[in-house]
Amino acid sequence: MTGRRNNKSLNVRAFWLALVFCLLWSPQLMAGFTETLPMSTFLIDEAFTISWVDKRWDNNGDGAALVDSVERFEPGGGRQGEIIPEPKATYMVLINRLQYGILDDLTFGIGIPVVIATDVDPNIKWETGDYQRQIGRSYSEDDFWAWAESMGQPRIDSWSGNKGELSDIVLGLRFRWTHRIPVFKEIGLQSALSVLGVIPTGKHADPEELVAVGTTMWDLNFQGDLAFHLSFDKSFEEELDGRLQIGLDLFYETFFDRELTSATGEKNPLMRNFAPYIGENYTVNPGDFSGFGVMIDTVPYKGPAWATWLVGHDPEKAKALPPILTLSVGYTFVHLQQSDWSSEFPLWDYDQEELWKPGYKNILSAQVMVSFLRLGVPLRVYVQHRSLSLIPGKNARAPEVLTTGIQIPLKFW
């Protein structure tokens, strides 16, 4: 008989898009985890990402709508019905990346994601509740919203925004520490340590909006504010003519506490008016990520190696250039820690934490890369798809992410 629902307000705005996209490190020359650029080389990478999400994995690992349904009650008159949101969100992001080879085994990178647009369709459904004597029927969906509007609460509508908004900028360094140890080269194993940090240039969602998403790393779920990656690549140069590479990436990513502004009810007086009791601001620790990724790169077609201007007309150097076609598949496991919300009202904190409980996500990815370097054109084109919906996760959103981009290596001296 116990077990009251906990979802106190419709919280459509607070779902991570979970793009889960390596923001900084573009697909590398061999698409492995440990590659660094040759010294004094730039790599410009322009990628367009579109992500869509309409489900999540719940605490039991079952597929569910992104947002819990919300029961609504007539004051003293029982249950009016249940708002059942089945939202779908679409995110389009332009990711501008620049990497520079400081040394042959040390690369610096900067990533500047710019959100092109975010669209959220709350896709609200309604389940009727108790019979309401005063109107002689149960509330229909229209009845409920007419009621809500008479109370000052506007009907939930689609939301579109973040047009041209900057996300958090990411800076990073990758050091391929095995580069200088011959034994690793002998056994075909390379390892790199990467450190990434975020400059908080993104914006949080408007707290007053019911349906809104921000552009911070937390909103996009690209990565943590500070990330450490230890990566390994095993290539099979001799055995398989370099047509196979297996990579392993271990990572730990942490989010810093962030202070957010509480909703005052200015736009949604019934559904988002927390400030009077939780305080004007509250802090969130989203919980850290940790996990590992495995990637297998295969080369079905190396292509000709022309001794073009790119390699100083040197045929040997041309052979060292990346193959024309590389196919990669990968799997990433991400463990999510419990989020920690802190306001003046512990029960509200708990309600939010319930939405972000510990869990994990299983990510499958596939990538096709076509390189024209061997043909004397400094250009590579790639398409990548990442899916969190194929293998069930837990307490995680399940987006699909499609990315396409181009890379242009440059060397000025």
Partner 1 sequence: MQWRIMGGVVFLFVLVCGINACEETQKPPTAHTIVLKGSAYDRGFEHGKTFSSHIHSIYTRLLTSSIIPYLNREQMNIAPILNKYKEVQFLDGRFSYQMMLESGKLMYDYYIPDEYREEMRGIADGSGLSLDEVIVLNTFYDTMMGFRAVVTFIQNIQEPVIRNLEVTNAADTDTIDNNGDGQVDEADEWLVEPYLPSPYATLVEVPLDAEFRFLLDDPRLGGMTYIDPRNTEPFGEMVFGADCIDETCLSPECSKQSGYPLECLDPRYREEGCYSDVCFDNDCAPREVIPDCYDGRCLKREKDDCAYLSHDSDCYQSGCMSEECIPHIVEPDCYSEACFADQCMPLRDQIVLYPRLNISCLKESCVQNSDPGCVNKDSIRIRVDQTQYTIADGSITTRQLEEEQEGGLIDSSGSECKGPLEVIFRPPGGLPPAAEVTLLIQASDMSPIYSPEPYHNRNMRDERIVITTKGYAEKYGKGQVPREIGNRGVSDSSMMPPSISFAARGSATPDGDPILAHHFSLLDNDMMHEHSLLQIHVPENGTPHAFLGWTGLVWGFSGMNSEGLAYAVNNSDSLDNPLVGRTLDAIFENIGDLIADPNLEGLAEALQSVRLLASGTAIGFAARELLQNKTTVDEGIHYLHSIAHTYGWNVLLADAEGGLAAVEIDAGTQSTTPYDPDVLGERDGFYYYTPDDSNPQNLDAQGQRWSSVGPDDLRMASHYRKNIEDMEEIPLMQIFSPRQQYKWTGFYFRSLRSYYILGDRIEEKLGSIDVSTAIDILRTPELVDTRDSMSSVVFEPAKKRFHWAMGDVPATGLPYEPFDFSTDMEGGTP
Is 137 a binding residue for partner 1 by CB under 8 A? The answer is: yes
Q: What is the DSSP letter of 178?
A: G
Cβ-based nearer residue to partner 1, 108 or 147: 147
Q: Verify binding: residue 358, partner 1, rule CB under 8 A.
A: yes
List the structure tokens of 125: 């459904």
Q: Could you say whether residue 230 binds partner 1 (CB under 8 A)?
A: yes
CB of 335 to partner 1, least distance (A): 6
Q: Does 267 bind partner 1 (CB under 8 A)?
A: no
Position 215, amino acid: T
Site for partner 1 contains 82 (CB under 8 A):
no
CA-based nearest residue to 215, from 164, 268, 259, 256: 164
**Residue 199: how many CA atoms within 13 Å on its side-chain side?**
11
- Tokens matching residue 192: 């790199």
Measured CA to CA, the distance from residue 40 to residue 27 in angstroms comes to: 19
With 0-12 CB in 10 A as exposed, 13-18 as middle and 19+ as buried, what is 134?
Answer: exposed
Per CB under 8 A, the list member of 46, 86, 288, 400 interacting with partner 1 is 288
Rounded CA-CA distance 17/53 in Å is 7
Give least dist CB 273 to partner 1, A: 5
| Closest to partner 1 by CB, 146 or 173 | 146
Q: Which residues lie below 8 Å from residue 83, measured CB to CB, with a gap of 6+?
A: 10, 69, 70, 71, 72, 124, 125, 126, 144, 156
- What are the Cα distances from residue 364, in Å, to 226, 306, 330, 374? 23, 35, 6, 29
Which of 69, 118, 273, 367 is in the footprint of partner 1 by CB under 8 A? 273
Nearest distance in Å: CB 299, partner 1? 21
Minimum CB separation from partner 1 for residue 131, in Å? 4
Q: Which of 350, 366, 390, 410 binds partner 1 (CB under 8 A)?
A: 350
Pick the binder of partner 1 from 60, 136, 182, 312 (CB under 8 A): 136
Cβ atoms of residues 21 and 53 within 8 Å: no
> What residue ranges bind partner 1 (CB under 8 A)?
1-6, 8, 71, 73, 75-76, 78-79, 130-131, 133-137, 139-140, 142-144, 146-147, 149-152, 187-189, 230, 232, 234, 248, 250, 252, 265, 269-270, 273-274, 276-279, 287-288, 290-292, 335, 337-340, 344-350, 353-354, 357-358
